[in-house]
Structure 1
Amino acid sequence: MDLQQMRYVVAVAETRNFTRAAERCGVVQSSLSHRIAALERELGVRLFARSSRRVEPTGAGEAFVAAARECLAAAERAAADAAAATGVVRGRLAVGVIVTTAAVDVPELLQRYRARHPDVRVVLRSGRSDDLVTALREGDLDIAFLGLPEGERPSGVETVVLDHDEHVLVVPAGHRLAGASRVTLGEIAEETFVDFVAGTPARAQSDRAFTAAGLVRDVAYEAGVVELIIRLLERGLGVALLPSAYIGPLAAENPALALVPVVDGPHRVEYLAWSRFNPGPATRAMLDVLGVRRAGDGPQGPPSGTPGRRPPGTP
């Protein structure tokens, strides 16, 4: 048994197809099939149930794939640690980000990181804060930029607070409140709202603020991405509450939108988070680029002078 056989098995399990698995691994299908068959003979079990149209892992195959992933990750980590001992950072860095991140200019940060560490393969994944935290705990991500309601902190991961922000009311330019100096939640509770999908951290920030104020609102339009929320607002279909640091710069360039401060509106905290379990060289290098002190480095606080950080936008 060798690592390459493990890679082949994992590829087949993930693609459910020998041809696609061979393409992913850069080998001809006959070679991949032969190596997997040899491994099955060595183990004395069938790893995959095959038919002319379907390929699925057997029970033994699922057990093998789980352990194979751990072995492959350990091998990758060993190679990265060996390179790091010579002063070269290699390996893979998986970064998670919420789409409304504003405390750090993530594309600019990744550009600087690549300039310093060109041998690291960086992959980027966007998603919900709760899903990104789960991915960190399970080892699918190395580092993530999150946004959570004030008073809620990610659990099971290391964190640093990047910024505190408040939501503003976003309305179409012709809306009756477009010129208001400020509003309260009570004054806007009867409006038709556009918001993120119920149950997500991004939605919870506004829901909790209205609940705390004893108010009920109508969320008629739910969207999974902020771009759709903005397009719905531009069409005059409703109003929204969005983080000021994110929406401020966008609204300044969009005459179809107006921002109004909310006296008792939602607040959010942006976090940088990473796995507690022995971060690898690529993760440590990213924390160094961000100026983050790790456990054992001394008192930890927010990154000072974080490169690429944008000041909060003001409505």
Structure 2
Amino acid sequence: MDVVDFRYLSVAVETGNLSRAAESLGIKPSTISRRIARLEDELGVTIFERGSFGIRLTAAGREVMVPVRRTLDGFDSVLQVGKSSGSGMSGHVRLGVRMPPVGKPLQPLLAAWRDQHPDVVLTLHELNDNEISTALAERTLDAALVTTPTLRRGANTISVYREPLVVALPQRHILASYDSLTWDLLREQTLLTQGWNDSYSARAFYASFLGDGVRFSSHPASKQSIMALVGAGFGITLTAKSQSEVLFPGVVYKPIAEDDAWLQVELAWRPTSEDAAVGRFVAFMRDEARSRRLL
């Protein structure tokens, strides 16, 4: 016996007639009659009474139908899960981020993804550049939002959005009285950066604006810890405009009046990924970036 026999049996019960059951299944009446007779032989019971009234379940047949229906329901559930996963409407996306997704435009993007894909679990992993690169290579991350060119090894990338940079200053800093700042005004300052073992991408990024003579103070710490040091007067730092929505004691934010004061955020993923949910996430981010004109 197999699940096809159970299907035939269930349809026969529903229609109460083998000919009508065969018609609804698109098979010959002799085929369904033969399959049910073989099933009765295997089980050693008579499932149907047959007569001019058509067919009806025997007492043994009614008992047989309980596990048959349970089996068919379970099989349908498996098919539904498979179809949903295969279409990317369910599953799991492990997303690496360099910065917390605070404010626009990333937070609204993730909210839109959540609304449209409520059955896809999204797990956020806040990591530094080296950790994100390693995690993508080792497939412990499915995708990552990155802002530096250090993650191109073996990964595909698409641009998602562009975000202005702002300066975070101690509240009592002399530059805090300015309405906006320029690179020239910032070059003489001590610039606080995040930096882990052999990870100097933030310093390289800042130096591309300010030159190589900048005084850097690197810390293997979170952005929140860097902001705490800014508030304590240890120096200044650059951050994305969305991050300036988070208030820290003793810290003020100032815009930068320079045409190149922005960062490009890209989505990176492994080109060999076969997970449908990951593919749908990549396509969603690409299409949303275009429709919202975030680039």
If the length of structure 2 is used for normalisation, what is the TM-score?
0.58
Distance in 2, Cα, partners of 1:80 & 1:126: 33
Distance in 2, Cα, partners of 1:96 & 1:263: 30
Q: Which residue is equivalent to 1:229?
A: 226
**C-alpha displacement of 1:98:** 1.5
When residues 155 and 262 of structure 1 are mapped into structure 2, their CA distance, relative to the original with a 3 A threshold, is farther
Distance in 1, Cα, partners of 2:83 & 2:238: 47
Distance in 2, Cα, partners of 1:272 & 1:166: 18
Three-state SS of the structure 2 residue aligned to 1:194 is strand
- Residue identity opposite 1:171 in structure 2: L
Q: Which residue is equivalent to 1:89?
A: 89
Distance in 1, Cα, partners of 2:232 & 2:115: 42
Segments of structure 1 that go 5 or more residues without pairing to the other structure are 1-78, 294-301
Matches within 5 A, 1:263-302: 263=258, 267-292=262-287, 302=289
Three-state SS of the structure 1 residue aligned to 2:177 is coil
Q: Which residue is equivalent to 1:105?
A: 106
Q: Which residue is equivalent to 2:194?
A: 196
Distance in 2, Cα, partners of 1:101 & 1:246: 8
Aligned with 1:304 (options 280, 291, 294): 291
When residues 169 and 121 of structure 1 are mapped into structure 2, their CA distance, relative to the original with a 3 A threshold, is closer
Matches within 5 A, 1:120-269: 120-148=120-148, 154-197=152-195, 199-210=199-210, 213-219=211-217, 222-243=219-240, 245-250=241-246, 256-261=251-256, 263=258, 267-269=262-264
Segments of structure 2 that go 5 or more residues without pairing to the other structure are 1-78
**C-alpha displacement of 1:101:** 4.7
Larger fraction in helix: 2
When residues 224 and 200 of structure 1 are mapped into structure 2, their CA distance, relative to the original with a 3 A threshold, is farther
1:282-311 Cα offsets, whole Å, 9 max, x none, are 112323443539xxxxxxxx43228xx8x9
1:245-287 Cα offsets, whole Å, 9 max, x none, are 2333335x97741314264876421101222114311112323
Distance in 1, Cα, partners of 2:114 & 2:101: 20
1:173-192 Cα offsets, whole Å, 9 max, x none, are 22111122444444333323
Q: Which residue is equivalent to 1:19?
A: none
**C-alpha displacement of 1:145:** 1.1
- Residue identity opposite 1:241 in structure 2: L
Provide the aligned C-alpha RMSD in A: 3.7
* 8 A contact 2:85–2:91 mirrored in 1: no
Equivalent pairs, count: 215
If the length of structure 1 is used for normalisation, what is the TM-score?
0.55
* 8 A contact 1:157–1:276 mirrored in 2: yes
Three-state SS of the structure 2 residue aligned to 1:178 is helix
Identical counterparts, % of pairs: 21
Three-state SS of the structure 2 residue aligned to 1:132 is helix
Q: Which structure has the larger Rg over C-alpha atoms?
A: 2
- Residue identity opposite 1:161 in structure 2: S
